[in-house]
Structure 1
Amino acid sequence: MEPPGNDVVAFESAEKIILRWDSTASEDAREKMIFAGDRYEIDRYLQAVDEIQRSMEFATLSDDQNKANSAIQIAMARLEDEFRNILIAHTTPMEAESLTDSSPLPEEDYEDDSPLTKDLEHQESNSSCSYRPTNSIREIDLMPSDAIYDLRCIAERMILAGYLRECIQVYGSVRKSAVDSSFRKLGIEKLSIGDIQRLEWEILETKIRRWIRAAKVCVRILFASEKKLCEQIFEGLGIATDDACFMETIKGPAIQLFNFAEAISISRRSPEKLFKILDLHDALSDLLVDIEIVFDSKSSESIRVQAVEILSRLAEAARGILSEFENAVLREPSKVPVPGGTIHPLTRVKVFE
């Protein structure tokens, strides 16, 4: 049965628009981006894609199905390029003033000598970007609303056509580069657990101070803002698509971040490490609620579990050091009294839950 005449005309008109923007067949199409042009042309192309997708549902003849499949493949390749281009065009490194946590830090943490910290000393602690607070979380708007609208329009059509995986991969690759850039600004290095454990303790002390500051920014601002962007673009498009894109973007960086604390928690114990281990424990304990908020989905459960396990190992390491120190003191008590009979300056009270 032949489709109604109006449907044939609509399909042919839509197909013509799709083919005109086929970058494999046209030099002009390769040099221009649809979404960099006027709104009329953008809407016209999206409507053409919608018409092709609608035609696929009702095509009964083999030739009609083949033509529709060919057109939709060309359209999806084009939309993937447009999606990537919009992401790249609106992905800029976070400003230093955005990458600062407003929560109080121990006085010694301000001794961090990373480039970002030095830059922040001369700036206001509040971001100029708009954000909404969620407890201590600050979700910065990473892209303008018009770009988000265009990305959502493209994502909706790619997912409907069965190109979810391609959409997630493109999104994750571009946004992960942005996260990596912020990591470099925060002084977070790509070090394996073995690399960290081989560093001299004096070097590690500085890195621990930097990590405490950076971890707060990463969880409360960077990761939270990336999650918000995923929700703005993908929420409601498929099953947990926004969460899949979020994890595609930040799973690697999150593991990289927490691997540092994990390396410290399982390193060789010695008395001089006690205070910094306690600092790490305190910082991670304070972040735990925020981690549970940002990584609240089933697919991000491994991140939550890793944080809880690291916290437990840090507490265990601190208790072990205290126990070993106590035994050493009992075996060889000091014969020199502390001046004034006060508490020894190395004494520190810490209660672990």
Structure 2
Amino acid sequence: MHPLEAELRSLLEAQNGFSPVDGAGDDDDDEIPVGRPVPEYAAVIDAFPSATVADIHAVVKRMVAAGLGEECLRAYSTCRGDFLQESISRLGFRHGPPWPAAEEEIARWVEVVRVAVFILFPSERRLCNRVFAGLAAAGDLSLAETCRGAMRRLFAFPEAAATASRSPERLFGLMDVYEALRELVPEIASVFSGESSSVLLLQSAAAGARLAAAVRDVFAELENRIRRDPVAPPVAGGGLHPMTRYVVNYLRAACRSRRTLEEIMNEDGGAAAGDQIGWAMDLLLGNLESKSKCYRNPAQSFLFLLNNGWYISQKVKDGELGILLGEDWIRGQTASVRRWRSSYQRTTWGEVIDLLNASREASSGSFSPAPASSLGEKLQLFNELFGETYRNQTGWVVADERLATELRASAIELVLPAYQSFLRRLRSSPALEKSLGRLVMYSPADVRARINRLFKWSARNL
């Protein structure tokens, strides 16, 4: 080793016992200082007395003049690079991959990389400017070599994130890492502005691009998961399907970072975030339509669609998810819910209402004359239809208490007046007067009570 290189190493290593984050990584203290984007970079410079900095600068000039530029670069970047690596370790970052990482590991990485980018790397930039004063090219190259190992170590984490599996559950960790990188890129560009260190800036930008691609791939995998979800068996009672709950709440959580999601989806001319999420929701709705066909009872099929459609509508009508989907999509979904609700009511109570109104004249609303035997037969048929409907739907599910209350109220409003009018018609028939008590199985109060008992168990069992 040349005497000048040995002297330079001696001067540098004498100062490397100091760290600007000294003690932050002690085993009994998990707290990590968070870097701030302010010029508080004197910590590293202060580790070198002015006289020492001047001595280092003098040795560097002599080495360059003596044709020992390569040895100078190696000695400086090795000593300062070791200092950076030790500083990062003492911050608590002791490993990178494998992925997936737990939430606390992601949070730790975010804090450590912010300290590195906002404090450690700018401090090294400032130190290089003083040590290599008058030797700008050598200083830029020394900075790049000094920080290369630390950058590689820190950026192995997002690289691992970007190349790991495409499980939808990884989305939120990916977006946390992406958002951290987005904040850091301008500062990295400021620190590594020289030609020799531009590769470090490119490394950070490439990591961000790969993370964005990984997020788009995760959304594609979410769509595949929806497609692959088996149609059968049907959900008991026509209630809320687990896939509906999973997809809607997943997208709501993803949209809390709506602006980040829009930025990622729009990169490289990709589909807008609203379109991407709209496709996922449309896939879900199509899957639900297929699942509804598993029910033998048409009313239960429509109730299943109503349950799931109502849940979706309530979850998207406000908040970031609704903003991304847009008003047109929400209006279309609301119209579908109304259609399913109407179809459920028609298939549940339509035959009952048609029976009760069978002899009513459409023009005046009065009853046309009808034989007592015909009225008695209609009453018996009503008893059978109403009883069968009640028995069938006693175990059916309505996932939302407000919806259940509205369905019960609508049924009462639809059935009870027609039934009361029919009973008045029966009582006006002298031929049925004696047998009326035996024929009438349900009083109006009984009809109301039974309808009010429908779906009562739903809220307690969901």
TM-score by length of 1: 0.61
Q: Measured at CA, do residues 208 and 292 of structure 1 come closer, stay the same or move farther in structure 2, by a change above 3 Å?
A: same
User: For residue 204 of structure 2, what is the amino acid of its counterpart?
Assistant: A
Match of 1:146 among 51, 55, 74: 51
Which residue matches 2:168?
A: 271
Which residue matches 1:281?
A: 178
Which residue matches 1:5?
A: none
Q: Is the 8 A contact 2:144 2:192 kept in 1?
A: no
Which residue matches 1:86?
A: 11
Q: Is the 8 A contact 1:138 1:224 kept in 2?
A: no
Greater helix percent: which structure? 2
Give a deviation string over 1:193-229, Cα, whole Å, max 9, x none: xxx24x5x3x544322211111111111111111211
Q: Measured at CA, do residues 137 and 307 of structure 1 come closer, stay the same or move farther in structure 2, by a change above 3 Å?
A: farther
Which residue matches 1:227?
A: 125
Which residue matches 1:23?
A: none
Whole-Å Cα distance in 2 between the matches of residues 116 and 278 of structure 1?
Answer: 29
- Give the deviation of 1:337 after TM superposition: 7.2
- Give the deviation of 1:82 after TM superposition: 2.4
Q: Is the 8 A contact 1:179 1:250 kept in 2?
A: yes
Give a deviation string over 1:161-215, Cα, whole Å, max 9, x none: 2121222211122112211211211233355xxxx24x5x3x5443222111111
> Are 1:293 and 2:190 counterparts?
yes
Which residue matches 1:256?
A: 153
What secondary structure, in the 3-state scheme, does the structure 2 residue paired with 1:240 have?
Answer: helix
Which residue matches 1:242?
A: 139
Q: Measured at CA, do residues 273 and 119 of structure 1 come closer, stay the same or move farther in structure 2, by a change above 3 Å?
A: closer
- Give the deviation of 1:284 after TM superposition: 0.4
Whole-Å Cα distance in 2 between the matches of residues 116 and 215 of structure 1?
Answer: 20
Q: Is the 8 A contact 2:22 2:90 kept in 1?
A: no
Whole-Å Cα distance in 1 between the matches of residues 143 and 49 of structure 2?
Answer: 18
- Give the deviation of 1:293 after TM superposition: 0.8
Q: Is the 8 A contact 1:235 1:241 kept in 2?
A: no
> Are 1:336 and 2:243 counterparts?
no
Q: Is the 8 A contact 1:88 1:174 kept in 2?
A: yes
Greater radius of gyration (CA): 2
Structure 1 gap ranges (5+): 1-75, 100-113, 127-132
Which residue matches 2:108?
A: 210
Q: Measured at CA, do residues 337 and 97 of structure 1 come closer, stay the same or move farther in structure 2, by a change above 3 Å?
A: farther
Give a deviation string over 1:241-286, Cα, whole Å, max 9, x none: 1112112211122112112111111111101111000100100011
Q: Is the 8 A contact 1:158 1:164 kept in 2?
A: yes
User: For residue 84 of structure 1, what is the amino acid of its counterpart?
Assistant: R
Whole-Å Cα distance in 2 between the matches of residues 288 and 98 of structure 1?
Answer: 28
Kindly report which structure 2 residues correspond to 1:101-116, keeping only aligned pairs within 5 A, or say none. Answer: 115=26
User: For residue 177 of structure 1, what is the amino acid of its counterpart?
Assistant: D
Whole-Å Cα distance in 1 between the matches of residues 102 and 19 of structure 2?
Answer: 26
Which residue matches 1:53?
A: none
- Give the deviation of 1:137 after TM superposition: 5.4
- Equivalent pairs, count: 245
- Give the deviation of 1:287 after TM superposition: 0.6
